[in-house]
Amino acid sequence: MKFSNFSSVLSLLSLIPASQAWGTLGHHTVAYVATNFVHPKTRVLFQSILNDITPSYLANIATWADTMRYVQGWGWSAPLHFIDAEDDPPHSCAVKYSRDCGEHGCIVGAIQNFTQQLLNPSLGAVQRSQAAKFIVHFLGDIHQPLHDEGMAKGGNGIHVIFDGDEFNKYYKPLNLHSVWDTTIPEKIVGGNTLLDAENWAANLTTAIETGIYKTQVGAWTNSMNLADPASTALSWASETNVFVCTTVMPNGREAIEGTELNGTYYEASAPVIELQIARAGYRLARWMDLIAGNFKTEL
């Protein structure tokens, strides 16, 4: 399909928001990995907070934050899904809170905010449930490299091609951000259903327990400090942002603009995406355990 033939359709469809988060497959998988690792007491607490006693209590709310960002009255939450690092990939990658967390907030501040809300014993049930939903979502997003990068709005402005396709499923020009959010994860798994996510999470859980991640998983929680959620989240963002220089655009923005990514680019990116989904899910479980261990309800 040629862009020119399509421009009127594109302008009609421009009302559909650009994809700006791990797609549903990524978020569901992070949630299921976390489900597999949380302490039983943590599960009981969060099932109660979320008012959902099913085994999918985390997956069921993992994309709630993405549906809310476009709802009237919730616009304040849109900037909280990312931090726009003003670094210079591929030459230098870095996240700096004071430079990069905009005046409307960012994902690092949001993880701090909603963690502290969860620990506040006087918080009402509705707000507590919302805080839990934001935590589950944002611990996922912060592990997607392009959520920790400002260049071209986290890659949303970089047009790319995947397997000859220049458009996404909403007939918008395919961009680098959505390829990382959705296209590559769905190709790794071969689908995007809840069951696909559960199966992918089962594989990643095995990799953590007995496979390729076994020797590194201990280090994944090194910088985790419930007393300082912002520093903890900044360490995750910094670690994730490094992949922008090494894997997302190793030869710079121009080298990737308009190019086909199904091939060597996919082969290099898929292992990073699997690692980041595994890290996000495991860290989410441990973060929830810390919250549960320090949880106080008002008597």
Ligand X SMILES: *[C@@H]1O[C@H](CO)[C@@H](O)[C@H](O)[C@H]1NC(C)=O
Q: Which residues sit at the interface with ligand X, rule CB under 6 A?
A: 76, 80, 105, 109-110, 113, 163, 187, 189, 196, 199-200, 203, 262
Between 33 and 80, CB nearer to ligand X? 80
Q: Percentages helix, strand, coil for the chain, rounded to the nearest 5?
A: 60, 5, 40
- C-alpha of 35 from chain center: 16
Quick note: the x/- pattern for Zn ion over 3-42, rule CB under 5 A, is ------------------x---------------------
Which tokens hold the place of 218? 């201990």
Which tokens hold the place of 250? 């190793």
The residue from 100, 148, 181, 196 that is catalytic is: 181
The residue from 39, 69, 99, 253 that is catalytic is: 69
Which tokens hold the place of 117? 């809300």
> Can 104 be counted among the known catalytic residues?
no
Between 39 and 187, CB nearer to ligand X? 187
> Which DSSP category does 17 fall into?
P
133 is an interface residue for Zn ion by CB under 5 A: no
Between 43 and 147, CB nearer to ligand X? 147
Quick note: the x/- pattern for Zn ion over 173-212, rule CB under 5 A, is ----------------------------------------
H or E segment and range at residue 272: helix 264-293
Binding at 141: pick from Zn ion, ligand X, none (beta carbon under 5-8 Å per type): Zn ion
> Can 141 be counted among the known catalytic residues?
yes
Own/partner pairs for 13-17, CB < 8 Å, 24+ apart? 13/170, 13/171, 13/172, 14/172, 16/170, 16/172, 17/70
In whole angstroms, how close is the CB of 179 to Zn ion at the nearest point?
16
CA neighbours closer than 13 Å in the CB half-sphere of residue 131: 21
- Residue 298 near residue 48, CB atoms below 8 Å: no
In whole angstroms, how close is the CB of 141 to Zn ion at the nearest point?
4
In whole angstroms, how close is the CB of 166 to ligand X at the nearest point?
13
Which tokens hold the place of 224? 């985790």
Q: What are the two backbone dihedrals, phi and then psi, of residue 272, each rounded to the nearest 5 degrees?
A: -70, -40
> Can 137 be counted among the known catalytic residues?
yes
Between 179 and 245, CB nearer to ligand X? 179
How far is it, in rounded angstroms, from Cα 293 to Cα 114? 16
> Can 289 be counted among the known catalytic residues?
no
Q: Site for Zn ion (CB under 5 A): which residue of 81, 128, 172, 177?
A: 81
In whole angstroms, how close is the CB of 26 to Zn ion at the nearest point?
10
> Can 81 be counted among the known catalytic residues?
yes
How far is it, in rounded angstroms, from Cα 61 to Cα 52? 10
Between 81 and 172, CB nearer to Zn ion? 81
Q: What is the secondary structure of 212-280 as a DSSP string?
A: TTTTTHHHHTTT--TT-HHHHHHHHHHHHHHHIIIIISTT-HHHHTT-B-TTHHHHHHHHHHHHHHHHH
Binding at 113: pick from ligand X, Zn ion, none (beta carbon under 5-8 Å per type): ligand X
Which tokens hold the place of 232? 């903890």
Which positions touch Zn ion (CB under 5 A)?
A: 21, 66, 81, 141
As annotated, the active-site residues are 22, 27, 66, 69, 81, 137, 141, 147, 177, 181
